[in-house]
């Protein structure tokens, strides 16, 4: 129960940090707009923006061509948010060691993985143009939504997909590039799903990865502290 209090504190600190970050981010956007429109200053290059491209699926339609689905997330980091992440995780670690029972401490015997806390300490980049390049022939432009995410779907002829596909770790994939407004380039993959075959759709927690979701103490430890462990097959 006491360790759960430390988790609640972490969520509360993260909530306050995100609200403050949103206010600061809006002020920064106004400043950048004025600097760009009135003074012609290119402020985009000072942004600390990153992009996460999620695993995507492309499937062949009955017409023979392919639908390639893309999903990505555009966000901004800062030294301030990094310090908040470090201080938040350090605070929870101290509370856990102070309040946890000896039995519970077994699961908190290491530091919080700050890379896993990072997604909670960034600012979504909304309404930002993202350029998508698939091969050398296909060039598209999309925009991020209110959560900083972009979702796009493209129809590509079978002939071109066959020319672009690669074999990576025994899987057929098509690679693509996503380019942000700072000319930063990120590469992603679309996994090709043939019309005929077997597809397995599965949950992750305690199906593929050991999470122990029924025990909240172990769940937090397995999510933010311990190395990920694979559920052994039978």
pLDDT tens by residue, 116-152: 777 777 888 999 999 999 998 999 999 999 999 999 9
Residue with tokens 């600012």: 123
Choose between 110 and 51: higher pLDDT.
51
Angle 71-75-80 (CA atoms, 0-180°, nearest 5)?
160
Q: Cβ distance 7 to 1 under 8 Å?
A: no
152: left (phi over 0), alpha (psi -120 to 50) or beta: beta
pLDDT digits (tens, 9 = 90+) for 7-24: 555 555 555 555 555 555
Whether residue 173 contacts residue 189, with contact meaning beta carbons closer than 8 Å, is answered with: yes
What does the domain layout of the chain look like in residue ranges? Answer: 51-77+125-195
**Cα 97 to Cα 112: distance, rounded to the nearest angstrom:** 12
pLDDT class of 54 with cuts at 50, 70, 90: very high
Burial class (CB in 10 A: 0-12, 13-18, 19+), 77: middle
Question: Which one is predicted more confidently, 111 or 161?
Answer: 161
Please give the model's pTM, rounded to 2 decimal places: 0.68
Maximum Cα interatomic distance, the chain, rounded to a whole number of Å: 65
Tokens (6 digits) for 193 = 């799903």
Q: Which of 157, 131, 132, 168 is nearest to 67 (CA)?
A: 157
**CA 124 – CA 75 distance, rounded (Å):** 4
Given the structure tokens 């309040």, which residue do they identify? 99
Q: At what angle do helices 79-99 and 2-39 cross, to 10 degrees?
A: 170
Q: Which pLDDT score is estimated for 168?
A: 76
Model pLDDT, residue 215? 81
pLDDT at 78 > cutoff 70: no
Please tell me whether residue 47 adopts helix, strand or coil conformation: coil
**DSSP-derived secondary structure letter, 149:** E
Q: Rounded mean pLDDT of 55-71?
A: 93
Query: What tokens were used for 133?
Result: 């390049």
Predicted pLDDT at 16: 53
- Contact at 8 Å (CB) between 71 and 150? yes
- With a CB cutoff of 8 Å and minimum separation 6, the contacts of 110 are 225, 226
pLDDT in tens, 156-212: 999 999 999 988 777 899 999 999 988 899 999 999 988 877 777 788 898 889 998
Q: Please state which CATH number belongs to domain 51-77+125-195.
A: 2.60.40.10
8 A C-beta contact, residue 40 and residue 172: no
């Amino acid at each position: 129960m006491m360790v759960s209090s430390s988790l609640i504190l972490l969520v509360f600190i993260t909530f306050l940090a995100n609200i403050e970050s949103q206010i600061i981010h809006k002020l920064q956007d106004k400043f950048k707009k004025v600097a760009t429109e009135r003074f012609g200053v290119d402020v985009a290059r000072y942004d600390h923006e990153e992009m996460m491209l999620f695993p995507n699926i492309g499937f062949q339609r009955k017409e023979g061509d392919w639908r390639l689905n893309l999903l990505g997330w555009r966000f901004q980091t800062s030294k301030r948010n990094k310090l908040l992440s470090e201080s938040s995780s350090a605070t929870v670690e101290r509370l856990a060691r102070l309040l946890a029972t000896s039995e519970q401490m077994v699961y908190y015997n290491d530091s919080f993985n700050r890379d896993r806390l990072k997604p909670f300490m960034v600012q979504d980049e909304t309404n930002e143009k993202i350029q998508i390049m698939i091969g050398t022939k296909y060039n598209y432009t999309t925009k991020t939504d209110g959560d900083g995410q972009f979702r796009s779907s493209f129809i590509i002829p079978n002939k071109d997909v066959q020319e672009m596909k690669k074999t990576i770790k025994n899987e057929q994939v098509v690679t693509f590039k996503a380019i942000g407004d700072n000319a930063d380039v990120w590469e992603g993959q679309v996994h090709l799903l043939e019309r005929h075959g077997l597809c397995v759709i599965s949950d992750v927690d305690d199906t593929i990865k050991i999470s122990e979701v029924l025990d909240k103490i172990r769940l937090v430890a397995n999510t933010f502290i311990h190395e990920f462990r694979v559920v052994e097959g039978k």
